[in-house]
Amino acid sequence: MSSRDRILGRVRRALADVPRDDTPYEQAVPRTYLRRHGDTDAGRTVALLAARLADYRADVHRTDPAGLPELVARLLAARGADSVVVPAGLDPGWLAAAAATAVPDRPESTPRELDRIDSVVTGCAVAVAETGTLVLDGGPGQGRRRITLVPDHHVCVVRVPAQVVSSVPEALERLDPARPLTWISGPSATSDIELDRVEGVHGPRALDVVLLADGDGPPPEPAA
């Protein structure tokens, strides 16, 4: 018997005396907490996301679709990237101006092989302004979780304002809990008891976030 079978067996035994017509958990537990703090428009929500990302030491850039290929190319070149992981479903135009060699996201790629790749470019599923968090769910243009954990540099493109929400509860409403969710708040970092910060321990050492104007929001500011 596997560990999974043991755990599921314990769950079944714990639920054995629960009537089949019992009120579902999601209805039985009242959720009267605030879903968001205050009423903010799309522009202020995106600005808050940018500020929170900067607090986490991510580098934030703004552009429109026409300027995206050149910006991505510049961000990869600035990191000296000779190779970049490309997840399935990523718009090929995003990397049209990049000189780095594109490496497709493949199931058979090993962590050692991924560690030799300099950068990864992805989209995201949703971004949370209040917490400065990017959420990936493995959908088109996002790839497997490991491609955003092993390479040292991650470029994540967020469509604004369409993919930006104010709060975590709003983000959860957009996400499928059955999908492999990766929550990213800034570059990977940790500190020891002396508060010496070390980056790149549990994921990329550098995170570039591109806020891509999707046509429904205010004009983008010049790319940083």
Q: Which pLDDT does position 202 carry in this prediction?
A: 64
- Domain of 209, in residue numbers: 40-213
Residue 14 lies in a domain: no
Quote the CA–CA distance of 79 and 56 in Å, as a whole number.
Answer: 19
At residue 94, does pLDDT exceed 70?
yes
Residue 163 lies in a domain: yes
- Secondary structure class of 73 (helix, strand, coil): helix
Region of poorest pLDDT, from 3-7, 49-53, 216-220: 216-220
Residue 222 lies in a domain: no
Angle (CA) 119 125 130, round 5° = 100
Domain count for the chain = 1
116-169 pLDDT, tens digit each: 999 999 999 999 999 999 999 999 999 999 999 999 999 999 999 999 999 999
Residue 34 lies in a domain: no
DSSP state of 35: S
Residue 10 lies in a domain: no
Q: What's the CATH number where 72 sits? A: 3.40.50.10420
User: What band does 8 get if pLDDT is binned at 50, 70 and 90?
Assistant: very high
Q: Which pLDDT does position 29 carry in this prediction?
A: 80
Residue 18 lies in a domain: no
Residue 19 lies in a domain: no
Q: Which pLDDT does position 39 carry in this prediction?
A: 76
pTM of the model: 0.80
Residue 116 lies in a domain: yes
